[in-house]
Structure 1
Amino acid sequence: MGSEQQEVMGSPVLARRRHLLDEALAQADIRINGDRPWDLQLHREAALDEILARGSLGLGETYMLGDWDARALDQFFARILRADLTRLVRPWRNALRLLRSYLVNLQSRRRAFEVGERHYDLGNDFYKAMLDRRMVYSCGYWRAGAEDLDQAQEAKLDLICRKLGLQPGMRLLDIGCGWGSLVSYAAEHYGVECVGVTVSREQQAYIRERYADLPVTVHLQDYRNLDQKFDRIASVGMFEHVGHRNHRTFMKVAKRCLAPDGLMLLHTIGKNQRHSATDPWIERYIFPNGELPSTGQIGDAADRLLVCEDLHNFGSDYDHTLMAWHANFERNWSQFADRYGERFYRMWRYYLLSCAGAFRARHIQLWQWLFSDRLEGGVARVS
């Protein structure tokens, strides 16, 4: 292999030997030390071997260490995923991770609160600076003509309420209620009594303080312990933490808690292929024990329990949402730099922009499923 000397942004870079990643990235029209926003700027040559050997985990960890950069990470990842460069990850690594997910219940009751402690409890002030005014940590609905993040999230909340056909006096259960965005909106605008469950102490404290004047109750509780009847159930951005070994259990809990003629809306990120492993970098650094479902897995879980009345995909809206979160994160980072440090900054930036690229490439999806309990003979009224 020969060596090459390039000039990037008017500054010369050190000569280096061509690497196998040069050829691989070229398939996605990405150049190492190129001058375009999506090109990879290399700061440590040995990082290329680590990326090739360890795939996604190596790519993310070398970025966190500052070994490489890309001015537009979102574009970098959209190109990688459209070109399906993930196939270059060593197959045996994915096979071992898939086998582990089938042998071990990574989302057991014992592990249920781990994601709350490590991710959602980072600090309410941190998420308040990144999210919209209602603190919605899920995909906004931009197709209703929303002009900013606040409008997109309120449009999504209202869409959910309308799909559920909420009426004054109903009881709504929100499984994985976050910072109370849906329960507060439903109570304010639709006159319903709301109960939320979360695995985050920070979220519970926030809801109790902010919405003390609303008919909203929040419990720090694993969803598997739910055993009350509700007219309507929603779960927004929580099913990604359930895991395929527990999908059926989740649906049984929903059926147990759903009143006759009830409806449940399930809002979840999803994957295109049933048998695919969770991205190892995302699982290690962002969402421990997370696992995206496929359409087939969700359908299997609901089989003979609930009826799918509607399925709505607006995954491309998540790209827009994540870019808005990233803009807020960058704008407000100075408030948190001393607390979290440079490594966290690079990790969080990588998380937001890599996910934006994944949705842009349609590598992952966002679905809203509407289920009824019609198998019991009721007649669901779906608006």
Structure 2
Amino acid sequence: MNLPTLDTQKTVFDERSSSHRFVADLLKQADIAINGHRPWDIQLKAPGVIDSALSRGNLGLGESYMNGDWDAKSLDQFFYRLMRAQLHQRIRPTQLVYHSLRSRLLNRQNAKRAWEVGEKHYDLGNEFYAAMLDKRMTYTCGYWKDAATLDDAQEAKLDLICRKLDLKPGMRVLDIGCGWGSFMAYAAEHYGVECVGLTISKQQAEFGKRLMKAGLPVEFRLQDYRDETEQFDRIVSVGMFEHVGRKNYREYMEVANRCLKEDGLFLLHTIGKNLSTTSTDPWIDKYIFPNGELPTLGRVTDAAEGLFVVEDVHNFGADYDKTLMAWHKNFEANWAQFKEQFDHTFYRMWRYYLLSCAGAFRARETQLWQFVLSKQGVVGGYERVS
């Protein structure tokens, strides 16, 4: 007779525990089975996963995945079902109370801390992001309305922004959080404008020098947005507001107002969440975007009150699902060239990041908004572009 190993004994105990039964019943509501045979079923490979998830939420679930303690063949489908059934809203881990209070009480996105996300996330290396992103290195949601490829979707998004801003040759445009300069390069090439971009990533600023050497009228400034004082015909901010934080939303809008000419337009492109009562995801905060925070629609408009007129709001959050899945496909296809630079834990962390976020957008748990704002309202009305 073969005696079970210690790990097997623990697994058997887990399956009989009240927490295991509770989670199994909960997951059934999302059509997810523990150790089932479908691509979205969770496969437990070590004890303690369930208790870690119950006590520490997504932080515990994510770290268990990074350690290889559980898996799902189709991680994006697992998270889609989990979030579509709102199961994550029904479990409130007590150990995350501190994280929630810290997010509400502290200004985690002040000028000193604002540089942390650049160092930890965006400075992973230009080569790494070039292998994952489109040819222009656009690290924000693509616009898939008439697009079949990632390159097409990103160019369609960049052109959509240019048309919404009604760009004309000779205009000067400020890009707050310019990334690798994909918008600035596209706008300069196709619409004849001059651009100034702000970034807190040294790697992005270095990459920007290549665009300037190519003769494009673009300038990269390695500085915090709060330090900008010049005025511009247009302002754009794509995928940066997620790093601003609620305690700084008003100041951010005041900076944009200060830097925009009286007859100018400001396009704000940001991920958003549905509920103001939810706090920052602790796993994303720890491993992906330090000090990040998703706004709600109300918090954006409250911050703009008295400073801007909201001319247009466009939600194409479902397109972020397709974008993230395309990034994941590129990441997997090119992983071999980065195995020496990053370890297997990083590989699982990055998969978890891309695929869990794809599931969240697919479930419509998170949104993607583009706002068009003016200082006093466009005379005669703003003509919507799509």
Q: Is the 8 A contact 1:73 1:354 kept in 2?
A: yes
Cα distance change of structure 1 residues 195 and 378 upon mapping to structure 2, 3 Å threshold:
farther
**Selected match of 1:288 from 256, 280, 290:** 290
Match of 1:261, SS state, is strand
Equivalent residue number for residue 46 of structure 1? 48
Counterpart-to-counterpart distance in 1, 2:233 and 2:171: 6
Counterpart-to-counterpart distance in 1, 2:347 and 2:133: 16
Match of 1:105, SS state, is coil
Cα distance change of structure 1 residues 53 and 88 upon mapping to structure 2, 3 Å threshold:
farther
Q: Is the 8 A contact 2:55 2:93 kept in 1?
A: no
Deviation at 1:205, TM superposition (A): 0.4
1:216 and 2:233 equivalent? no
Deviation at 1:196, TM superposition (A): 0.1
Deviation at 1:23, TM superposition (A): 1.6
Match of 1:139, SS state, is coil
**Selected match of 2:234 from 222, 232, 235:** 232
Counterpart-to-counterpart distance in 1, 2:108 and 2:152: 36
1:163 and 2:164 equivalent? yes
Equivalent residue number for residue 80 of structure 2? 78
Counterpart-to-counterpart distance in 2, 1:250 and 1:54: 32
Counterpart-to-counterpart distance in 2, 1:211 and 1:132: 20
Equivalent residue number for residue 185 of structure 1? 186
Aligned positions of 1:82-101 closer than 5 A: 82-90=84-92, 92-101=94-103
Deviation at 1:95, TM superposition (A): 4.2
1:258 and 2:260 equivalent? yes
Q: Is the 8 A contact 2:250 2:303 kept in 1?
A: yes
Q: For structure 1, which segment, 92-101 or 77-86, has the greater mean C-alpha deviation from structure 2 after superposition?
A: 92-101
Equivalent residue number for residue 325 of structure 1? 327
Counterpart-to-counterpart distance in 1, 2:32 and 2:106: 38
Match of 1:74, SS state, is helix
Deviation at 1:24, TM superposition (A): 1.8
Counterpart-to-counterpart distance in 2, 1:303 and 1:73: 40
Equivalent residue number for residue 147 of structure 2? 146
What whole-Å deviation, never above 9, does each CA across 1:301-326 have from its counterpart, x for those lacking one? 00000000000000000000000000
One-letter code of the match for 1:158?
D
One-letter code of the match for 2:164?
K
Counterpart-to-counterpart distance in 1, 2:288 and 2:166: 34
Counterpart-to-counterpart distance in 2, 1:330 and 1:123: 17
Q: Is the 8 A contact 1:34 1:40 kept in 2?
A: yes
Q: Is the 8 A contact 1:262 1:372 kept in 2?
A: yes
Equivalent residue number for residue 306 of structure 2? 304
Counterpart-to-counterpart distance in 2, 1:380 and 1:99: 42
Segments of 5+ residues of structure 2 without an aligned counterpart are: 1-10
Cα distance change of structure 1 residues 218 and 37 upon mapping to structure 2, 3 Å threshold:
same
What whole-Å deviation, never above 9, does each CA across 1:20-39 have from its counterpart, x for those lacking one? 32122112111111000000
Match of 1:126, SS state, is helix
What whole-Å deviation, never above 9, does each CA across 1:305-350 have from its counterpart, x for those lacking one? 0000000000000000000000000000000011101000000000
**Selected match of 2:365 from 355, 363, 366:** 363
Counterpart-to-counterpart distance in 1, 2:381 and 2:166: 10
Counterpart-to-counterpart distance in 2, 1:100 and 1:382: 42
Q: Is the 8 A contact 2:318 2:361 kept in 1?
A: yes
Counterpart-to-counterpart distance in 2, 1:91 and 1:295: 26
Q: Is the 8 A contact 1:372 1:380 kept in 2?
A: no
Equivalent residue number for residue 3 of structure 1? none
Counterpart-to-counterpart distance in 1, 2:229 and 2:316: 32
Equivalent residue number for residue 8 of structure 2? none
What whole-Å deviation, never above 9, does each CA across 1:96-143 have from its counterpart, x for those lacking one? 333222221000001010000000000000000000000000000001
Q: For structure 1, which segment, 92-101 or 222-231, has the greater mean C-alpha deviation from structure 2 after superposition?
A: 92-101
Deviation at 1:276, TM superposition (A): 1.5
Cα distance change of structure 1 residues 68 and 330 upon mapping to structure 2, 3 Å threshold:
same
What whole-Å deviation, never above 9, does each CA across 1:272-297 have from its counterpart, x for those lacking one? 01221011100000000000000000
One-letter code of the match for 1:196?
G
Counterpart-to-counterpart distance in 2, 1:84 and 1:381: 37
Q: Is the 8 A contact 1:55 1:88 kept in 2?
A: no
Which aligned runs of 4 or more in structure 1 are off by greater than 4 angstroms? 91-95, 377-383
Deviation at 1:193, TM superposition (A): 0.5
Counterpart-to-counterpart distance in 2, 1:15 and 1:148: 47
Aligned length: 368
Deviation at 1:80, TM superposition (A): 0.5
Counterpart-to-counterpart distance in 2, 1:154 and 1:361: 25
**Selected match of 2:120 from 115, 118, 121:** 118
Counterpart-to-counterpart distance in 1, 2:209 and 2:276: 38
Match of 1:173, SS state, is strand
Name the Cα RMSD after superposition: 1.5
Q: Is the 8 A contact 1:265 1:369 kept in 2?
A: yes
Q: Is the 8 A contact 1:374 1:380 kept in 2?
A: no
Deviation at 1:378, TM superposition (A): 7.0
Q: TM-score, normalised by structure 2?
A: 0.92
Deviation at 1:204, TM superposition (A): 0.4
